[in-house]
Amino acid sequence: MVPSISGWWGVVLDRSRKLLRDRERSIATGDQRLKDFLSAIQASPNGVLMLDANAQIEWCNQTAATHLGIHPERDVMQRVGNLLRDPAFTAYMTVENPVDPVVIPGHRHRLERPVRISVQRHRYGEGKQLLLTRDVTMLEQAEAMRRDFVANVSHEIRTPLTVMSGFVETLLTLQLTGEEQHRYLGLMSIQAARMQGLVEDLLTLSRLEGSPVPSFLNALPLKRLMETCELEARGLSDTLLQGAAPQIILFESNPALDDAVLMGEARELQSALSNLVSNAVRYTPAGGQIHVSIDHGIDGSLLMMVRDTGVGIAAEHLPRLTERFYRVDRSRSRESGGTGLGLAIVKHVMQRHGGSLSITSDVGHGSCFKLIFPANRWRFHP
């Protein structure tokens, strides 16, 4: 117990005690605010790295440690240049007042799985520096995809436009017979149809990406789906082969599924199977076989398979087949009339309906494309 002192000294002592208590509370409040501030920085999705005047690490949050591959405790007071030896980062640290950030490979960067980290440097205090890090891998990939997409679309449209322009110039400048005019106009019609198909596929992809998930209220009978695709397949086969040995096209389904229906967007579901069948017809030579079947899996899923005896696809191409405009053989794709967007459309349709696309192939022996719908996406019609 603190003894009581009366008089003037007692007043001084009481005031001193009060000031001490206020100071302790202020320090406690300041400590708590510092802890809250550091906790907030620690929870930030961006990395924060604090350097002293000698570019030594004073503190960093876990995000920065993950981005740059440093240890938040063990590497304290280590020079950051000794830990990060990327040439671009080294050069960046020599710039007096950098305006733009530098992008360097992240800690877990691999050629097959790139990781790209943006580092922005700011000066503060007495010669101290603050490094802010951000994972820009997805942004760079999206930008690369955008550039590739624009370049591919421009290239795909430029080719038929160039051909059509040449035909138009010929028709305008040369005296042609009626037969020659008819032939040129027919070739122009083919190129126009090619551009129209490309635009329609682009619009389809845009619609798929911007639309809500299909409901379970609409139903597409499997029997009608198969009949429509078979009619399209035989018509396309006759058009492409033009008198060559006919392809053997077989459509069959499990009899138990005669009254089954798929729940979802009918136009999308029709497009998914039609694209696979169309590809099979285009890439299967004269006299080859195309087999389309529908069955149910033991887990209740619905399986649609399109098999062909075409040229097949090498294993290294399989993971990229659903990328927009990705082609195994560009010259062959253009000869067959493909836009390079069909499998991208199929992938999006399946994702929107909760299903998946499986692809297997053997060069020289054909390919198998399988659409797998979950059990809740089909039922028997009452």
Confirm if 285 and 310 have CB atoms less than 8 A apart: yes
Q: Whole-model pTM?
A: 0.64
- The pLDDT score that the predictor gives to residue 4 is 57
Statement to judge: residues 186 and 44 lie in one domain: no
Statement to judge: residues 217 and 292 lie in one domain: yes
Statement to judge: residues 275 and 359 lie in one domain: yes
Unique residue bearing structure tokens 């018509």: 235
Statement to judge: residues 205 and 218 lie in one domain: no
Domain that holds residue 339: 213-380
Tokens linked to 104: 């360097």
In a domain, 18, yes or no: no
Confirm if 356 and 372 have CB atoms less than 8 A apart: yes
- The pLDDT score that the predictor gives to residue 185 is 86
Statement to judge: residues 59 and 120 lie in one domain: yes
Q: Which residues of 183-198 are buried (b: 16+ CB within 10 A; e: fewer)?
A: ebeeebeebeebbeeb
Unique residue bearing structure tokens 């009978």: 221
Alpha-carbon gap, residue 304 to 298, rounded angstroms: 14
How wide is the angle at C-alpha 166 spanned by C-alphas 192 and 172, nearest 5°? 105
- The pLDDT score that the predictor gives to residue 167 is 82
- The pLDDT score that the predictor gives to residue 196 is 82
In a domain, 297, yes or no: yes
- The pLDDT score that the predictor gives to residue 329 is 66
Statement to judge: residues 51 and 81 lie in one domain: yes
Phi and psi angles of residue 226, each rounded to the nearest 5 degrees, phi first: -65, -40
- Tell me the CATH number at 307: 3.30.565.10
- The pLDDT score that the predictor gives to residue 7 is 61
In a domain, 11, yes or no: no
Of 158, 184, 210, the one marking the end of a domain is: 210
Statement to judge: residues 319 and 204 lie in one domain: no
In a domain, 302, yes or no: yes
- The pLDDT score that the predictor gives to residue 336 is 52
- The pLDDT score that the predictor gives to residue 229 is 92
Statement to judge: residues 255 and 332 lie in one domain: yes
- The pLDDT score that the predictor gives to residue 375 is 93
How wide is the angle at C-alpha 207 spanned by C-alphas 201 and 212, nearest 5°? 145
Name 89's bridge partners. none
In a domain, 20, yes or no: no
- The pLDDT score that the predictor gives to residue 216 is 86
Q: Output the tens digit of pLDDT for each of the chain's 382 residues.
A: 445 555 665 666 667 767 777 676 766 665 667 566 666 677 778 888 989 999 999 988 889 999 999 998 899 899 999 999 899 999 999 988 888 999 999 988 887 788 999 999 999 888 899 999 999 998 888 888 778 777 777 777 887 788 888 888 888 888 888 888 888 888 888 788 878 878 888 888 888 877 788 888 889 999 999 999 999 888 888 887 776 788 899 999 999 898 899 999 999 999 999 999 988 998 888 889 999 999 988 899 999 999 999 888 888 888 888 888 777 765 555 555 566 788 989 999 999 999 999 999 988 889 999 999 999 999 987 6
- Tell me the CATH number at 119: 3.30.450.20
